[in-house]
């Protein structure tokens, strides 16, 4: 039985990890620590909190007193550190918030864990997993090999730079203080509970509401898409069986450009509306409700500054050492994700109220068609 702290557990990947961990390891004691900023949502965790399957604490990883108190009271033996500001567009608007959470917050958590584990003689059996991103490696050209764990760091956005800095902190703690930590760098995640400002849910929701589907630049930017369930499986493997001090890349092996992803979303929605007449009554503004194509909503807008062209992950190390390989193909995972958002209108209606609309207007309102 492990005593587990999951930071950022009310976020997209965090929620999915909590459910995956609870199902795979029912005897472990789980605590979620989350500051509950705009991207967090407790709805999926409320049943687990109500029946005491997990404990939840609202708090900031940068609050040293709180973090130390939690370690003292609960004696965590596992930390899965997912708390982070993660949206590139927001990092361009407000980089300071990313430095505070991603760099200083990670430092505070590392220091608290190290001190607690040293004083309680848990340093030999504890594990700290730092969850990071492929964006720390920068951008690939069309013919470049995929990122490996030895790829140089070349971050191009404030978000990527803040995550690169936090990766370096973790590595430094391992080397200097014998911190029992590991790092994972993942590709673009998608799946249930993703905040609607990210590409896939944004396009799904805009399409069913009949709103424009804004694609940056010419839509040729390529990402490696990883279903969140595959990511969570890999995270649990790394924290239990990964080698201390090592980095493991986690990718989906599904390189797609943004233009094709949005097109696939549109085509899948067209098919869903054709197969289920009830959707037209629920979403009458969607072109598919009138027998038209959702692709008619697609438009190309001014690109964001420093937009990386291509990401790709070489996950051979993860497969060779831990046996983890992705099981969710992109076509199947995308259909499943679209269906989830169609069935969970109550969830995204709540999330997209208030400040969300102001952010969408702020981020896309000034961009012109190209």
Residues designated catalytic = 134-135, 159
Helix and strand totals (H; E) in the chain:
15, 12
The DSSP letter of residue 310 is B
Task: Cite the DSSP H helix spans in 75-131.
Answer: 88-93, 95-98, 106-119
147 phi, psi to nearest 5 deg: -65, 135
How many other CB atoms are found less than 10 A from the CB of residue 21? 23
Block residue for tokens 């194509």: 293
| 222-227 and 255-257 beta bridge pairing | antiparallel
The residues, any chain, with a CB within 8 Å of residue 132's CB and separated by 6 or more, are 163, 166, 167, 183, 184, 185, 186
What b-and-e string marks burial along 335-354, b requiring 16 or more CB atoms within 10 Å of the CB?
A: bebbebbbebeebbeebbee
- Structural element, H or E, at residue 300: strand 298-301
Distance CA 145, CA 154 (A): 15
Angle of helix 228-241 relative to helix 12-24, nearest 10 degrees, comes to 60
56 phi, psi to nearest 5 deg: -125, 135
The residues, any chain, with a CB within 8 Å of residue 288's CB and separated by 6 or more, are 207, 269, 270, 272, 273, 274, 279, 280, 294
Look at residue 4 and give its three-state secondary structure: strand
Structure tokens at 114: 């190290």
220 near 2, Cβ under 8 Å? no
Distance CA 67, CA 56 (A): 13
The DSSP letter of residue 206 is H
């Amino acid at each position: 039985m492990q005593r587990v702290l999951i930071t950022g557990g009310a976020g997209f990947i965090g929620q999915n990890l909590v459910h995956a961990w609870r199902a795979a390891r029912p005897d472990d004691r789980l605590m979620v620590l989350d500051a509950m900023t705009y991207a967090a949502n407790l709805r999926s965790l409320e049943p687990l909190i109500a029946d005491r399957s997990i404990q939840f604490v609202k708090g900031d990883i940068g609050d040293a007193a709180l973090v130390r108190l939690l370690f003292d009271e609960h004696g965590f033996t596992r930390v899965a550190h997912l708390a982070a500001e993660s949206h590139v567009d927001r990092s361009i608007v407000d980089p300071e918030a990313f430095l505070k959470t991603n760099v200083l917050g990670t430092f505070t958590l590392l220091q608290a864990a190290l001190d607690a584990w040293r004083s309680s003689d848990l340093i030999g059996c504890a594990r700290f997993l730092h969850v990071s991103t492929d964006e720390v490696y920068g951008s690939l050209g069309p013919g470049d090999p995929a990122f490996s764990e030895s790829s140089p760091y070349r971050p191009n956005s404030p978000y990527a730079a803040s995550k690169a800095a936090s990766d370096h902190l973790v590595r430094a703690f391992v080397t200097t203080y014998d911190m029992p930590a590991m790092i994972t760098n993942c590709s673009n995640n998608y799946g249930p509970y993703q905040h609607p400002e990210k590409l896939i849910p944004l396009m799904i929701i805009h399409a069913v509401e009949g709103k424009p589907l804004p694609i940056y630049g010419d839509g040729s930017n390529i990402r490696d898409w990883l279903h969140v369930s595959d990511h969570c499986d890999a995270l649990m493997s790394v924290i239990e069986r990964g080698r201390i001090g090592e980095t493991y890349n986690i990718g989906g092996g599904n390189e797609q450009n943004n233009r094709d992803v949005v097109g696939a979303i549109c085509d899948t929605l067209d098919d869903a509306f054709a197969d289920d007449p009830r959707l037209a009554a629920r979403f009458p503004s969607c072109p598919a409700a009138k027998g038209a194509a959702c692709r008619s909503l697609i438009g190309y807008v001014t690109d964001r500054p420093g937009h990386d062209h291509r990401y790709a992950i070489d996950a051979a190390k993860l497969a060779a050492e831990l046996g983890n390989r992705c099981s969710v193909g992109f076509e199947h995972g995308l259909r499943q994700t679209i269906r989830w958002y169609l069935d969970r209108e109550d969830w995204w209606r709540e999330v997209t109220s208030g400040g969300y609309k102001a952010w969408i207007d702020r981020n896309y309102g000034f961009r012109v068609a190209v």
